[in-house]
Structure 1
Amino acid sequence: MGSSSTTCLQLILGLLLALGTVAPRVEARAFFVFGDSLVDSGNNNYLVTTARADSPPYGIDYPTHRPTGRFSNGLNIPDIISQHIGSEPTLPYLSPQLTGQRLLVGANFASAGIGILNDTGVQFVNIIRIPLQLDYFRQYQQRVSTLIGAQQTKRLVNQALVLITLGGNDFVNNYFLVPYSARSRQYSLPNYVRYLISEYRKILMRLYELGARRVLVTGTGPLGCVPAELGMRSRNGQCVPVLQQASTLFNPQLTQMLNGLNRKIGSDVFIATNTQLMHSDFISNPQAYGFVTSKIACCGQGPYNGIGLCTPLSNLCPNRDLYAFWDPFHPSEKANKIIVQQIMTGSTEYMHPMNLSTILALDSKA
């Protein structure tokens, strides 16, 4: 065989290999994200609001080492899920770069500060509350229809993976924000939780009406254990009981409501993601996960670095991988990776009725 035909063969082999590595990207399903700062990838950068993460040291461990609007030292939960499903990260819906083919990857509609209720996060002024996130999703589908037609758009949305993260702010930035808040005067905690669940149900039904067929619904983390609450309310570093009670009431009722919705629809559309348990694992035993602490935020000030915002003037830990919390409220990139690992492969205790690996395997056969 002459050298030119060898070169030709190498080229063909190279091309085939290249196609092999590119193919999954084409096959990758679209991914849509709704919710609050735990999953916001930068929408709030485009808004006049105080709920933003667009200045250092946010993004210090992101590939660009610059702030992106993610409330993380690096990647957030949606970014890591995108990696697992073989997709590029979804862009914020408000990003001017979200056009053309990039729309087919999906979109992130999340906005820091929002909750299930429209009066949650009023102090942040201009944020994308959930009715507007859902309206943007409808608008997104119209935009995609002009690219690939209505039928293909419907298929893209039906086959997509959806992540929604709501509820934490309804407690910390509403009910418990100030003593005797309007909502705490209106409802006892158990009744407030029931009200939140009934409102959340309407949001999820609307998402279903808009075409979502595989939706990961996260519960709240252990709200009383985050550095912000330890800094403000804790005695001797113990998790704050009343906030823990809120999580303990909310999360099982959320799972119950999702089971009811799935029964009504006749399909496992909504997947209960037990983020309270996922967080509790490394909060109760940080050393087992390679953390030196789960009480002190890497970036912040005051007790437990839990007071105020993370800014260039804050204390900053040199190694973010040793901290479960990046700032007073948000997990570090390493903690986010542990959470996503449970989303991918966790038992039914963590992911009910099934984990994301099972979903991907089932849907690939469909």
Structure 2
Amino acid sequence: MATMVVVAAVVIVVFGPKGAEGAPSRAFFVFGDSLVDSGNNNYLPTTARADSRPYGIDYPTHRPTGRFSNGFNLPDIISQRIGSEPTLPYLSPELNGQKLLIGANFASAGIGILNDTGIQFVRILRMYEQYELFQEYQVRLSAEVGSEKAKKIVNGALVLITLGGNDFVNNYFVTPFSLRSRQFTVSQFSRYLITEYAKILQRLYELGARRVLVSGTGPLGCVPSQLASKSTNGECVPELQEAANIFNPLLVQMTKDLNSQVGSDVFVAVNAFVMHMDFVTKPERFGFVTSKEACCGQGKYNGIGTCNALSNLCPNRDVYAFWDAFHPTQRALGFIVDAIFAGTNDVISPMNLTTIMALDSNNI
């Protein structure tokens, strides 16, 4: 299904005290794919959905929400850590009035950097559409608080974006072959993606984002779906791991180049590969009994097909690194957020989220 990879996130993080109306003075905006989609695809005619049981089994309501998780997803956990309310999906009818000041989630499961990624999922919100909705949001916000205040809210917001994994797993490496794999070698394709991703981030800057954490892909060859379909011995799939190892360093350099162009540390690179490999290679250190088998699924490693009401379901999600064939469990995501907040320069650079928040608090 959507974002069929362990992909990390892009975050801008700035958080301040609550405003007079009780809403946070810094909004939170979320863009990207299924790792961060909080339910937009529920409102779209798409096959990339997480709106049926047992999705959401560990969410407070114990019901599916559209999140590709057993409970909370990445933006939820970040919101919790900074003391903010979770952002609503932009397509939700509940997102109006003062709730607009909290921010909005524009993410859509299945999308990629490229517009031809995820075509098998039919109707999804590609990045240009997410940005069109973001512009619409800003018009609505201006109507609520005035254009000057709206601009300040957007400029000072926390932004999360995650992209890239689907471009490999649901595009380039689609079996038995894909158009993109005929056009490019893995190295050429990675460089092409980076060029296109840079355009997406530049557009985000033009739309008002002023500090963005940009993450690379996770270990694409180690997720249960790829182990089930491409691995012969349960080891991570070399071709997909090679792709991640080419893409991620290029992404780090790209963020540095963008920062030089804008003259500020707007873009912060997150090394999702290292964050994920920690618990993929040493699951027992994190209290997991397995990092190969998904909690919910069927077939080899529970990695075949989608998680649904007829799937095998583990009784304790906290001891599994992966929830379904592609996405980490709520508990695993917590470790990723730990690294985003407190990681050293080898996993997040030029600074982690805690440092960013401290620096930005001085500018409020």
Q: Would the TM-score normalized by the shorter structure come out above 0.5?
A: yes
- Shift in alpha-carbon separation, 1:22–1:212, aligned structure 2, 3 A: closer
User: Which runs of structure 2 are paired with 1:111-150 in the superposition (5 Å)?
Assistant: 111-150=108-147
User: Which runs of structure 2 are paired with 1:255-266 in the superposition (5 Å)?
Assistant: 255-266=252-263
Q: Distance in 1 between matches of 2:95 and 2:270?
A: 28
User: Which runs of structure 2 are paired with 1:171-190 in the superposition (5 Å)?
Assistant: 171-190=168-187
Pick the aligned partner of 2:73 from 64, 76, 89: 76
**Equivalent position of 1:162 in the other structure:** 159
Maintained 8 Å contact 2:23/2:98? no
**Equivalent position of 1:105 in the other structure:** 102
- SS for the counterpart of 1:71 is coil
Maintained 8 Å contact 2:23/2:101? no
Structure 1 stretches of at least 4 aligned residues deviating more than 2 Å after TM superposition? 20-28
Amino acid at match of 2:157: A
**Equivalent position of 2:205 in the other structure:** 208
Does residue 268 of structure 1 match 2:265? yes
Amino acid at match of 2:222: C
The gaps in structure 2 that reach 5 residues or longer are: 1-16
Q: Distance in 1 between matches of 2:150 and 2:21?
A: 19
Maintained 8 Å contact 1:32/1:160? yes
Identity %: 67
- SS for the counterpart of 2:76 is helix
**Equivalent position of 2:89 in the other structure:** 92
Pick the aligned partner of 2:30 from 25, 28, 33: 33
Q: How far off its partner does 1:218 sit?
A: 1.5
**Equivalent position of 2:329 in the other structure:** 332
Maintained 8 Å contact 2:24/2:101? no
**Equivalent position of 1:9 in the other structure:** none
Q: Distance in 2 between matches of 1:365 and 1:139?
A: 30
Q: How far off its partner does 1:25 sit?
A: 5.8
**Equivalent position of 2:148 in the other structure:** 151
- SS for the counterpart of 1:271 is strand
**Equivalent position of 1:313 in the other structure:** 310
Q: How far off its partner does 1:86 sit?
A: 1.2
The gaps in structure 1 that reach 5 residues or longer are: 1-19
Maintained 8 Å contact 1:28/1:87? no
Does residue 357 of structure 1 match 2:350? no
- Shift in alpha-carbon separation, 1:244–1:343, aligned structure 2, 3 A: same
- SS for the counterpart of 1:231 is helix
Q: How far off its partner does 1:24 sit?
A: 11
TM-score, normalisation: structure 2: 0.94
Does residue 282 of structure 1 match 2:256? no
Q: How far off its partner does 1:133 sit?
A: 0.3
Q: How far off its partner does 1:179 sit?
A: 2.3
Maintained 8 Å contact 2:288/2:321? yes
- Shift in alpha-carbon separation, 1:294–1:343, aligned structure 2, 3 A: same
Q: Distance in 2 between matches of 1:287 and 1:344?
A: 22
Deviations 1:199-219 (A, max 9, x none): 000000000000000112121
Q: Distance in 2 between matches of 1:27 and 1:65?
A: 27
Q: How far off its partner does 1:26 sit?
A: 3.8
Q: How many residues align?
A: 347
Structure ranking higher in helix proportion: 1
Maintained 8 Å contact 2:69/2:330? yes
Q: Distance in 2 between matches of 1:218 and 1:88?
A: 23
- Shift in alpha-carbon separation, 1:38–1:151, aligned structure 2, 3 A: same
Q: How far off its partner does 1:21 sit?
A: 9.6
**Equivalent position of 2:229 in the other structure:** 232
TM-score, normalisation: structure 1: 0.93
Q: How far off its partner does 1:27 sit?
A: 4.2
Q: Distance in 1 between matches of 2:24 and 2:42?
A: 31
**Equivalent position of 2:4 in the other structure:** none
- Shift in alpha-carbon separation, 1:21–1:148, aligned structure 2, 3 A: closer
Q: Cα RMSD (Å) of the superposition?
A: 1.4
